[in-house]
A and B are shown apart, each in its own frame.
Chain A
Amino acid sequence: MAAKTLTIDGKQISAEEGETILFAATEAGIKIPTLCHLEGVYDIGACRLCLVEVKGTPKLLPACTVKVAEGMEVSTDTERLRKYRRMTLELLFAERNHICAVCVANGHCELQSLAYGCGLEHVHYDYLFPRWEVDNTHRLFGMDHNRCILCTRCVRSCWHIEGAGTKNVSGRGAKSKIITDLNQPWGDSESCTECGKCVMSCPTGALFRKGSTVAESVRDRSKLEFIVNAREKKQWNA
């Protein structure tokens, strides 16, 4: 593998060929905000928070899927990008019913922490207040669609780490919804192995363990990474 040198936010770094900008930046200690990215599953470039400016490219590029190249000049924190990130987060808050005060993930939520990280203190857009149900049919877990941001981390970890293929997406646009099997109640799912990886991967409080109450949902994402590293790199150290 050839090494590539590039600059990210003016900092000279070297990365291996084939690495993404996000990976290279993280290695170099530069933090790029993400929501749909999850260590251990493949990237889909959907949340648009990790968009970066690359000199010579008119379009903004998602750092999670674009590979490093020799001489690339990347900016991750321009005024324009900060504005778009804030707007993206505001759109998410207005889209469904994110009521942090009564959420299991309060204090451990990636959407919440990104919001205050971006200085988001109120939402400019009208809240839509859609009506979404809560699926509480599963023995161990629950799914509250009000808090779902459709990052599909749960879908990807269910298919690609666990291999169960229980979670999926139905509908389109704002009506998109994470479903279980063929849109059945989770409790009726025959494919679900009850492994809980979807719950571990959820960035918000949409997926939760039953019995946990406000602010109790602390995720342990290292377990997902551990499994993937063990499987793909044969590394068994946690």
Chain B
Amino acid sequence: MERLKIATVWLGGCAGCHMSFLDLDEFLIDLAGKVDLVYSPIADVKEYPEGVDVCLIEGAVCNDDNLEILHQVRARTKVLVSFGDCAVTGNVPAMRNQFGLGNADNVLQRAYIDNAQFNPVKPRQDGIVPLLRERVQPVHELVRVEYFLPGCPPPADCIKALMVQVLEGKTPKLEGRQLKFG
């Protein structure tokens, strides 16, 4: 059997979900024996490849760059898993939505002008610094998502439970506290 191609992606989040992924410890070794990790923030690959079987996607969609990556990932991935609360609910990155639509400018104002001690200036480097989107959105509001793994972060054993089932080609069945938000 051909080895499955696995990817993990990091959008607007704290990388805590990836830390939890690394907490899989020895299961990572089992995993490495069965799959190819073709793209991940923990692997030095520049371009998201075609034909990925399973992708865990961490983080909410906060800026144009996130969105562009997300669309690319969706187009090149068979099974997309919303990985962690930011991807599933928007979580902490989405708290800025409470300040209304079109708040991107206010956010920058607060961060880079109001609270600046030196050199107050809003970062704007077109083509280099991605523009903030009007509102932060969870992944499933923008593209189709096959499975959801909430948690902040999802505990390693939940990731393992999900991965084992997905790798066996099953529809993963998580229940009870495995699905806890937060």
A: which residues have CB within 8 A of B? 93, 97-103, 106-107, 112-113, 115-117, 119-123, 126-127, 129-132, 146, 215
Partner of A101, one of B100, B140, B152: B152
Q: Are B181 and A100 in contact (CB under 8 A)?
A: yes
Name the residue on A nearest B97 (C-beta): A129
A127-B97, A129-B97, A131-B98 known; A122+B92 contact, CB < 8 A: no
Contact B138 A122 (CB under 8 A): yes
| Residue contacts A-B, CB under 8 angstroms, 5 given | A99-B91, A101-B182, A103-B182, A121-B174, A130-B98
User: Which residue of A93, A117, A122, A131 contacts B140 across the interface (Cβ within 8 Å)?
Assistant: A122
CB of A102 within 8 A of CB of B92, answer yes
The distance in angstroms between the C-alpha atoms of A138 and B138, with both chains bound, is 35
Nearest CB on A from B32, distance (A) = 27
Q: Which of B20-28, B48-56, B82-90 contacts A (4 or more CB under 8 A)?
A: B82-90
Smallest beta-carbon distance B70→chain A, Å: 16
Q: Mark B77-119, 1 if CB is under 8 A from A, else 0.
A: 0000010010011111011011110000000000000000000
CA A97 to CA B136, docked complex, whole Å: 13
Q: Nearest chain B CB to A130's CB is how many angstroms away?
A: 7
Residues of B within 8 A of A103 (CB): 182
Would A122 and B99 be within 8 Å (CB), given that A100-B181, A101-B85 are in contact?
no
Chain B interface residue number, banded: 20 to 34
Q: Is B141 an interface residue (CB 8 A)?
A: yes
- Starting from the known contacts A93-B89, A97-B95, A116-B177, 4 additional A-B residue pairs (CB-CB under 8 Å) come to A116-B178, A116-B180, A121-B149, A122-B89
A97 to chain B, nearest CB (A): 6
Known contacts A102-B92, A129-B135; is-contact A112 B98 (Cβ 8 Å):
no
- Assess the A127–B90 pair: CB atoms within 8 A: yes
Measured CB to CB, the closest approach of chain B to A174, in angstroms, equals 15
B176 within 8 A of A: yes
* Residue in chain A with minimal CB distance to B145: A122
Instruction: State whether B176 touches A116 (Cβ < 8 A).
Output: yes
State whether B89 touches A127 (Cβ < 8 A). yes
Residues on A with beta carbons closer than 8 Å to the beta carbon of B12: none
B175 at the interface (CB under 8 A from A): yes
**A40 vs B130: C-alpha distance in the bound complex, in angstroms?**
54
- A101 and B135 contacting across the interface, CB-CB below 8 Å: no
CA distance A99 to B98 in the complex (A): 12
The smallest C-beta distance from A73 to any residue of chain B, in angstroms, reads 28
Within 8 A of A (CB), among B161-182: 174-182
B148 with A121: CB separation less than 8 A: yes
CB distance from B155 to the nearest CB of A (A): 12
Nearest-neighbour CB distance to chain A for B179, whole angstroms, equals: 4
- B150 at interface by CB-CB < 8 Å: yes
Cα separation A72 to B144 with both chains bound (whole Å): 44
Q: Which residues on A sit within 8 Å (CB–CB) of B91?
A: 99, 101
Complex alpha-carbon distance, A126 and B90, angstroms: 11
Taking a contact as CB atoms under 8 Å apart, the answer to whether B98 and A97 are in contact is yes
> Do the beta carbons of B182 and A106 come within 8 Å of each other?
yes
**A115-B100 Cα distance, complex, nearest whole Å:** 27
Give chain B residues whose Cβ lies under 8 Å from the Cβ of A102.
92
A122 pairs with B180, CB closer than 8 A: no
Complex CA gap A29/B124 in Å reads: 61
Complex contacts, A122 vs chain B, CB 8 Å:
82, 88-89, 138, 140, 145, 148, 150
**Which residues of chain B come closer than 8 Å to A107, judged between CB atoms?**
180, 182
CB neighbours of A215 from chain B (8 A): 182
B residues in contact with A146, CB < 8 Å: 98
The complex places the Cα of A42 from the Cα of B100 at a distance, in Å, of 38
Name the CB-closest residue of B to A106.
Answer: B182
B179 pairs with A116, CB closer than 8 A = yes
